[in-house]
Amino acid sequence: MAFIRFNNFSFRYKGNDEYALENINLEIDENKFILLAGETGSGKTSLIRCMNGLIPQFYAGFYKGSVEIAGKNTIDTPISDLSTAIGIVFQNPENQLVAMNVEREIAFGMENLGIEPVEIKKRIREVVKITEIEEILDKAPFEISGGEKQRVAIASVLVLDPKIIILDEPTANLDPFFAKKILTMLKKIQETKKISIIISEHRMDLLVLLVDDIILIHNGKILAFDKKDIVINSEIFRNLNINKPKIYSLFRGLDKKNQVYDKIPISIEDALNVLKKYT
Alpha-carbon gap, residue 231 to 226, rounded angstroms: 6
Digit-coded pLDDT (tens) for 239-251: 898 888 887 877 7
- Say if CB 169 and CB 202 are below 8 A apart: yes
pLDDT confidence of residue 255: 60
User: DSSP of 6-66, one letter per residue?
Assistant: EEEEEEEETT-SS-SEEEEEEEE-SS-EEEEE--TTSSHHHHHHHTTTHHHHTS-EEEEEE
Which residue segment(s) compose the domain that 13 sits in? 4-226
Domain membership flag for residue 240:
no
Long-range contacts of 109-113 (CB under 8 A, 24+ apart): 109/83, 109/156, 109/157, 109/159, 109/160, 110/159, 110/160, 113/84, 113/160
For residue 204, what pLDDT band results from cuts at 50, 70 and 90? Answer: confident
Would you call the peptide bond into 56 cis, given omega within 30 degrees of 0 as the criterion? yes
Percent of the chain with pLDDT strictly greater than 70? 94
For residue 213, what pLDDT band results from cuts at 50, 70 and 90? Answer: very high
Is pLDDT larger for residue 78 or for residue 277? 78
Domain membership flag for residue 199:
yes
Digit-coded pLDDT (tens) for 221-241: 999 999 999 999 898 998 898
Which residues, in sequence order, are CB contacts of 99 under 8 Å at separation 6+?
Answer: 105, 107, 108, 141
Which residues, in sequence order, are CB contacts of 11 under 8 Å at separation 6+?
Answer: 19, 20, 21, 46, 50, 55, 56, 61, 62, 63
Question: In Å, how far are 27, 163, 219 from 157, measured between CA atoms?
Answer: 22, 11, 30
19 alpha-carbon distance from chain centroid:
22
Question: In Å, how far are 77, 227, 272 from 262, measured between CA atoms?
Answer: 47, 17, 15
Residue 263 scores a pLDDT above 80: no
In this structure, the number of other CB atoms found within 10 A of the CB of residue 48 comes to: 21
Digit-coded pLDDT (tens) for 60-79: 899 999 999 988 999 889 88
Mean pLDDT of the chain: 88
Domain membership flag for residue 86:
yes
Domain membership flag for residue 148:
yes
CATH of the domain at 126: 3.40.50.300
Residue 174 scores a pLDDT above 90: no
Alpha-carbon gap, residue 232 to 267, rounded angstroms: 12
Domain membership flag for residue 47:
yes
Report how many domains make up the chain: 1
Alpha-carbon gap, residue 34 to 208, rounded angstroms: 9
- Say if CB 52 and CB 82 are below 8 A apart: yes
- Opening angle at CA 51, ends 49 and 55, nearest 5: 40
Domain membership flag for residue 278:
no
- Say if CB 199 and CB 38 are below 8 A apart: no
Domain membership flag for residue 242:
no
Domain membership flag for residue 252:
no
- Say if CB 84 and CB 113 are below 8 A apart: yes
